Chains A and B, each alone.
Chain A
Amino acid sequence: EAGVAQSPRYKIIEKRQSVAFWCNPISGHATLYWYQQILGQGPKLLIQFQNNGVVDDSQLPKDRFSAERLKGVDSTLKIQPAKLEDSAVYLCASSLVPGGETEAFFGQGTRLTVV
């Protein structure tokens, strides 16, 4: 079974630039999550999709972050404009159903460095 695919693996940008991350979840997984993991901390939920609808985006900084999941499969997360404090690993995860009842499988993440 193919896992959660993310790209790129690494990205370095200057502050105020834009960046986009891509995620392809495990086939058949209706729930997709984007997490931000700052060095030394646990993952923090940014947004959760159920199929192509948003379930929870309460911690997404909407003035600069946006995400979409077209057709309920792949998803993109965008930051525009980036700030220094956005430097982190961005993890995408997917699960069959929401709420942690089934295991969430994580991608390898995209390490973003904003300079």
Chain B
Amino acid sequence: KNQVEQSPQSLIILEGKNCTLQCNYTVSPFSNLRWYKQDTGRGPVSLTIMTFSENTKSNGRYTATLDADTKQSSLHITASQLSDSASYICVVNHNDMRFGAGTRLTVKP
């Protein structure tokens, strides 16, 4: 069983709308949690990083939250743009990187 589960598997939203992606993990303890964005045909690129003691971290229109008690993280995207269409991957680090399967986001005009 994967130690990092993401939901939904895919999501379609209209340009300008907000959305929230979920990540549940069982990796414990962990040193940090990252959200990566992977455009089609590209390698993943880090968006945010949080240690276990941080609750929220923002990067422009992206805001990640972390609840270490419930072992959940979310990535909120505000005012979505067409260029946000990509896969978003949650990665939990403890000696090695544990990847989720990703959420495929499609932003339509």
Q: Which residues on A are within 8 Å of B, measured CB to CB?
A: 4, 40-45, 48, 56, 91, 93, 98-101, 103-109, 111
Give chain B residues whose Cβ lies under 8 Å from the Cβ of A93: 43
Contact with A along B59-83 (1 / 0, CB 8 A): 0000000000000000000000000
For the A-B complex, the count of residue pairs with Cβ-Cβ distances under 8 Å equals 58
Main DSSP-derived SS at the B contact region: strand
- Give the docked Cα–Cα distance between A40 and B31 (Å): 27
Contact yes or no, A100 B43, CB < 8 A = no
State the 3 A-B residue pairs at the shortest beta-carbon distance, nearest first.
A106-B43, A100-B93, A42-B99
Q: Which residues on B are within 8 Å of A, measured CB to CB?
A: 4, 31-32, 34, 41-46, 49, 89, 91, 93-97, 99-102, 104
- Give the docked Cα–Cα distance between A81 and B70 (Å): 45
Give chain B residues whose Cβ lies under 8 Å from the Cβ of A4: 43
Could you list 20 examples of A-B contacts with CB < 8 Å?
Answer: A42-B99, A42-B101, A43-B44, A43-B89, A43-B99, A44-B99, A56-B96, A91-B43, A91-B44, A99-B93, A100-B31, A100-B91, A100-B94, A101-B32, A104-B46, A104-B97, A105-B43, A106-B44, A106-B45, A109-B43
